[in-house]
Amino acid sequence: MRLLLKGQPASRGIALGVAHVREPLMHEVREETLPEGAIEPEIERLHAALDIARGELLQMRVQLQGALSHELGEFLDMHQLLLDDPELVLGMDDLIRTARYSADYALKLQRDRLLAVFDGIEDPYLRSRREDIEHVLGRVWAALHRGPTSQLAGLAGEVLVTDTIAPAELSQLTQRGVVAVVTGAGSALSHSAILARSLHLPLVVGAHEALAEINDGDALLVDGTTGEIIIEPNAEDLRRFKRIRREGQRERRELEKLKGAETVTRDGVEIRLLANAESRADVDRAYALGASGIGLYRTEFLFMQGRSIPDEEDQFLVYRDLVMGMRGRPVTLRTLDLGADKADRSGIALSHEPNPALGLRGVRLSLSQPGLFRSQIRALLRASAYGKVNILVPMVSCVEEVDVVRHLVASCTRELDEEGHAVAKRVSLGVMIEVPAAALALHSFGKRLDFLSIGTNDLVQYLLAVDRGNDAVADRASPLHPAVLRVVRDVLRHGRKRGMPVSVCGEMAGDPAYTRLLLALGLTEFSLHPGNLLEVRRIIRDSDLAELQRGLPRLLRAHDRAGIEAALRLMG
């Protein structure tokens, strides 16, 4: 029977598929005693499930490329270590042999023991890694309990229904035939949600009733744009799905025609579309799509992929290749942004902070390790000899930090010149505007900076005091708040007044729902994931900037999100 469920839309798109329900290990598992003759077969069943889980992780590692390899390798390595932990495996074997428990119950007991250990850890970041226990043992649980194959399996793809989804899993889901994901928990601003959007995989999070109402084999219609999940859709639902799918295919064909096209509004104003990148593959894609340059390259992924710290030469070679890949178009390289939710395996980021999001992260972490920071600045400057390089500094909150970085850049430039290394005559220096203090104190930066980049993800989090990864407050973490709009407007206005370029590089810039809003606020430089570039380009080409800016006073008069949304609808 048809049933409509509602969650939070996290990654746009619509998909029809067969439910594959991955139950969390939260539910009760009955304690039962196995007969003597069933003990060894049960151990074999457990080890077969462990082998399946290991094989899945290995396959994911082999398939990962470019940015995903850098970004998700940490998750995969930790999961592999857990599966290979002798204490975990031998402990379950022992429970089966001595207590004659089933593999299911032994797995549950080991899970409960490990979670109790993590819950007792004082460090909040390490304590939060209990999710890795849930994810990796959930993978073993799924291998122990493969659901029946639906009779619709040949007609539609698979929809994964689970409590949470690890970022590392998302990279392989589309290759496995998964067409959408529904989670009972989670936030639309989580790392997993951001990755799903870049993969164009429909995702609905926070669907609290999903695991209770959806069964393996149910036909599901998932709308990642509205957050609706329809169980056993009726004929009208299926007609709507087919119509939307046809329109989507036609739209993609039309978007392909915009590769390399000019990004100009209807009234003749040129807008620059820059790309966010994490790998050479992203850079190549951005160039092919006609991006004006790279507005944000996240250098921290070089540090997250291995246990050793990349030296100056290692960094220089990567940065040089990226700059050359854009063939003269500017490349903005952000200095190391580790800390908070970005862990590394080299030990650079602190592992014991009471509040990592407000702790030693971004430029604060770099300045605390002057040798490391100097080697990165030198590598960035050496890369500038091969093309236009801009240096972007994250998490800046005061002018003193800007001065220290400026002096370091000048010192490194002199050093390199004395050593005979080629360096561009001018390398632009900019900062991320993501800490409210930086936005409010822009006048103090004066002529110290060449450009600004607004990081809306953290700006929204800090300005609204909302943890963007927390499901309980996810609905409050929205850029459609009067305070957010005013801060963005004021930063853009400051840039225009001083003749200083300002871009927006957060998720807001790549969301077509906010394109006209940002244009009205005065944004002329968007930096976004390459996968969203053509859609945003089309909206800009269909927009009349003067008309949008006439509607700005109405937007800024709005006192709440509902009023802002109403004003946006009037903008078309």
Mean pLDDT (the chain) is 85
Q: What does residue 498 show for φ and ψ, rounded to 5 degrees?
A: -100, 0
Do residues 202 and 223 lie in contact, with contact meaning Cβ atoms separated by under 8 Å?
yes
d(CA 12, CA 333): 29
**Greater pLDDT, 121 or 519:** 519
C-alpha angle with apex 370: 366 to 376, nearest 5 degrees?
65
pLDDT at 282: 83
* Domains annotated on the chain, with CATH: 1-21+153-256 (3.50.30.10), 24-144 (1.10.274.10), 257-571 (3.20.20.60)
Which is the catalytic residue, given 79, 135, 481, 505? 505
Q: Which of 558, 467, 475 is nearest to 517 (CA)?
A: 558
User: What is the chain's alpha carbon radius of gyration, rounded to the nearest angstrom?
Assistant: 25
Do residues 336 and 299 lie in contact, with contact meaning Cβ atoms separated by under 8 Å?
yes
Phi-psi region of 353 (alpha: psi -120 to 50; beta: other; left: phi over 0): beta
- According to DSSP, the residues that pair with 527 across neighbouring strands are 274
Strand, helix or coil for residue 176: coil
Residues of 315-336 as b/e, b for ≥16 C-beta within 10 angstroms? bbebbbebbebbeebbbbbbbb
Do residues 101 and 31 lie in contact, with contact meaning Cβ atoms separated by under 8 Å?
yes
- According to DSSP, the residues that pair with 17 across neighbouring strands are 157, 220
Locate 220 and state its tokens.
Answer: 């599901």
Residues of 483-522 as b/e, b for ≥16 C-beta within 10 angstroms? ebbebbbebbebbeeeebbbbbbbbbbbbeebbbbbbbbb
**pLDDT, tens digit (0-9, with 9 covering 90-100), for 97-143:** 888 888 888 888 888 887 777 666 655 445 555 666 777 777 787 77
pLDDT at 455: 95
**pLDDT, tens digit (0-9, with 9 covering 90-100), for 421-473:** 999 999 999 999 999 999 999 988 878 999 999 999 899 999 999 886 676 77
Q: Which of 560, 562, 570, 563 is nearest to 520 (CA)?
A: 570
pTM recorded for the entire structure: 0.71
- According to DSSP, the residues that pair with 135 across neighbouring strands are none
Strand, helix or coil for residue 61: helix
C-alpha angle with apex 486: 481 to 491, nearest 5 degrees?
130
pLDDT at 148: 38
**pLDDT, tens digit (0-9, with 9 covering 90-100), for 259-305:** 989 999 999 999 999 999 877 878 888 999 999 999 999 898 777 65
Locate all alpha helices (DSSP H) within 129-271, ordered by sequence: 130-144, 167-173, 191-199, 210-213, 235-256
Contacts of 256 (CB under 8 A, 6+ apart): 534
Q: Which of 157, 139, 133, 302 is nearest to 222 (CA)?
A: 157
Do residues 205 and 10 lie in contact, with contact meaning Cβ atoms separated by under 8 Å?
yes
pLDDT at 122: 55
- Summarize the confidence of residues 73-101 as an average pLDDT: 78
**Greater pLDDT, 566 or 349:** 566
**pLDDT, tens digit (0-9, with 9 covering 90-100), for 385-410:** 999 999 999 999 999 999 999 999 99
Do residues 272 and 330 lie in contact, with contact meaning Cβ atoms separated by under 8 Å?
no
pLDDT at 3: 94
Percent of the chain with pLDDT over 70: 85
pLDDT at 63: 53
Locate 24 and state its tokens.
Answer: 């969390």
d(CA 507, CA 531): 12
Strand, helix or coil for residue 121: coil
Contacts of 76 (CB under 8 A, 6+ apart): 57, 60, 61, 64, 168
pLDDT at 306: 57
Percent of the chain with pLDDT over 90: 49
- What H or E segment, with its residue span, contains residue 300? helix 300-304
For the ranges 60-74, 84-98, 151-165, 474-488, the lowest mean pLDDT is seen at 60-74
Do residues 495 and 501 lie in contact, with contact meaning Cβ atoms separated by under 8 Å?
yes
- Summarize the confidence of residues 48-64 as an average pLDDT: 73
Which is the catalytic residue, given 79, 191, 481, 529? 191
Q: Return the DSSP state at 476.
A: G
Concerning whether 412 is annotated as a catalytic residue, the answer is no
